[in-house]
């Protein structure tokens, strides 16, 4: 019984994810340094945008870990296993894109694609910063955030991540990448619905918040 209570009081998500994403900080920082060295010899708008995106990616992983370490305790968590599986699958599935086939695209499309990635990641960072100590991966309840992009939509983090993935697909389109994108979007939609159900059950003010915000697109959806 004491062991069960001890495990319940521990933030297992923080313990499991902190070392993984700390490793991603190292990997993304190393990639950024490599890109920076290469750009000294080649240059070009795509290289500049890629370095910008790489720097933002390092910032994303740093912020991800920082928020994991400093977040407040959850007031409630989903008792169901499927929403948790979907949450972690949605978090790690984007890494599958690295193993998918890619087509060579013209420079003009590369510029568009990396620009989309940078814009999406910028919005993702903005959304993460707004969450602060309320950040979580699996469905959990802390406090209701109504600032930043959360003034207009309920799941800006998923929107930003999806935009990044669209840019990644455009960088080297293939049917494999499209299948991965569709799978991730489906997972994110499921996560959003499950999170709303959980939060609605524990925060009475969430019902009012839902009446004047949209799920993903302001004024539309």
pTM across the whole model = 0.92
Whether the pLDDT of residue 9 is over 60: the answer is: no
CATH of 2-211, one of 3.90.550.10, 3.40.50.970, 1.20.120.1630, 1.10.390.10: 1.20.120.1630
Q: Is the dihedral of CA 190, 194, 197, 200 positive or negative?
A: negative
SS3 44: coil
DSSP tag of 189: H
Question: Quick one: what percent of the chain has pLDDT higher than 90?
Answer: 86
By C-alpha distance, which of 89, 113, 114 is closest to 183?
89
Rounded (10°) CA dihedral 202, 204, 205, 210: 80
Question: Counting Cβ atoms within 10 Å, is residue 216 exposed (0-12), middle (13-18) or buried (19+)?
Answer: middle
Whole-angstrom Cα distance, residue 57 to residue 54? 5
Q: Where are the domains of the chain?
A: 2-211
pLDDT tens readout for residues 143-178: 999 999 999 999 999 999 999 999 999 999 999 999
pLDDT tens readout for residues 56-69: 999 999 999 999 99
Q: Is the dihedral of CA 159, 161, 165, 171 positive or negative?
A: positive
Contact by Cβ (8 Å): 83, 144: no
Q: Tokens 């370095």: give the residue.
A: 51
pLDDT tens readout for residues 106-154: 999 999 999 999 999 999 999 999 999 999 999 999 999 999 999 999 9
Query: Mutual orientation of helices 12-42 and 45-70 as an angle, nearest 10°?
Result: 160
| Helix, strand, coil content of the chain in percent (nearest 5) | 75, 5, 20
Give 111-140 as a DSSP string: HHHHHHHHHHHHHHHHHHHHHGGG--SSSE
């Amino acid at each position: 019984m004491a062991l069960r209570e001890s495990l319940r009081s521990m933030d297992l998500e923080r313990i499991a994810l902190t070392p993984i994403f700390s490793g991603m900080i190292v990997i993304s920082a190393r990639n950024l340094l490599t890109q920076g060295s290469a750009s000294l010899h080649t240059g070009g708008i795509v290289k500049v945008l890629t370095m910008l995106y790489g720097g933002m990616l390092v910032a994303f992983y740093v912020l991800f870990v920082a928020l994991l370490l400093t977040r407040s305790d959850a007031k409630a968590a989903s008792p169901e296993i499927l929403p948790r599986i979907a949450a972690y699958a949605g978090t790690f599935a984007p890494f599958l894109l690295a193993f998918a086939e890619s087509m060579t695209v013209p420079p003009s499309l590369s510029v568009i694609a990396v620009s989309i990635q940078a814009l999406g990641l910028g919005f993702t960072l903005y959304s993460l910063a707004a969450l602060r100590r309320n950040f979580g991966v699996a469905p959990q309840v802390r406090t209701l955030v109504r600032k930043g992009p959360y003034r207009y939509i309920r799941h800006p983090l998923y929107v930003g991540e999806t935009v990044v993935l669209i840019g990644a697909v455009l960088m080297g389109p293939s049917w494999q990448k499209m299948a991965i994108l569709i799978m991730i979007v489906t997972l994110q939609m499921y996560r959003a619905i499950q999170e709303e159900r959980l939060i609605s059950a524990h925060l009475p003010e969430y019902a009012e918040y839902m009446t004047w915000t949209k799920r993903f697109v302001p004024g539309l959806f």
